[in-house]
Amino acid sequence: LRKRCGWSEKLTGCGFRLTKAREVIIEVLKNTKEHLSAEDIYMTMHQEYPEIGLTTVYRTLEVLHSTGIVDKFDFDERRARFELSEEFGSKKHHHHLICTKCQKIVDYFDFMDEEINYLEIVTKGLSKKYDFNIKGHLISFHGICSNCK
């Protein structure tokens, strides 16, 4: 029987303190469907919480990432992008479809049966073969979107 924990329990459980900045940043991530950069997050909160600096945003994201509360993505850009992990966000697990021309990113959630089947089998196979404790995966397809064709 596993207790269902919120992000605050997870943070305190890992020895981190609950602070305004952390609360606000999680709130921002909860209220978007986008993959936000550190600066996006900073800009969003800055009106209402001008006392929270960009450095804190970076440091908070690092903490939230290390505890598994947010996922971090490196698309083919310079900056990293973040979103709440499946466990804590409203967003279900998804894969990406990236346009290499306009950089638009489409999230898709509606997996085909083959996709689910594949992941299960291959995760198991790889874990065994390479003696890895696999925690997750990142799948993205790239190409040219309808607008850019």
Partner DNA sequence: CTTATTGCAAATACTTTGCACCAGC
Partner DNA sequence: GCTGGTGCAAAGTATTTGCAATAAG
Contacting positions for DNA (CB under 7 A)? 12, 15-22, 37-39, 51-56, 58-60, 62-63, 78-80
How many C-beta atoms lie closer than 10 Å to residue 52's C-beta?
Answer: 20
- Using CB under 8 A, which residues numbered 23 to 82 contact a second copy? 72, 74-77
Containing 105, the helix (H) or strand (E) segment is strand 105-108
Angle value at C-alpha 84, between 41 and 57, nearest 5 degrees: 30
5 binds, among DNA, a second copy, none (CB under 5 to 8 A by kind): none
Pick from 43, 63, 105, 145: which binds a second copy (CB under 8 A)? 145
Q: Is 97 in the site for a second copy (CB under 8 A)?
A: yes
Q: Which is nearer to a second copy, 51 or 114 (CB)?
A: 114
Question: Read out DSSP for 21-73?
Answer: HHHHHHHHHHT-SS-EEHHHHHHHHHTT-TTS-HHHHHHHHHHHHHTTSEEEE
Shortest Cβ distance from residue 86 to DNA (Å)?
22
Beta bridge partners of 82: 36, 72
86 belongs to the binding site for a second copy (CB under 8 A) = no
Minimum CB distance to DNA smaller for 53 or for 136? 53
Please state, in angstroms and rounded to a whole number, the distance separating the CA atoms of residues 105 and 145: 10
Binding mask 119-138 for a second copy (x = CB under 8 A): --xxx-xxx-xxxxxxxxxx
Nearer to a second copy, 10 or 68 (CB): 68
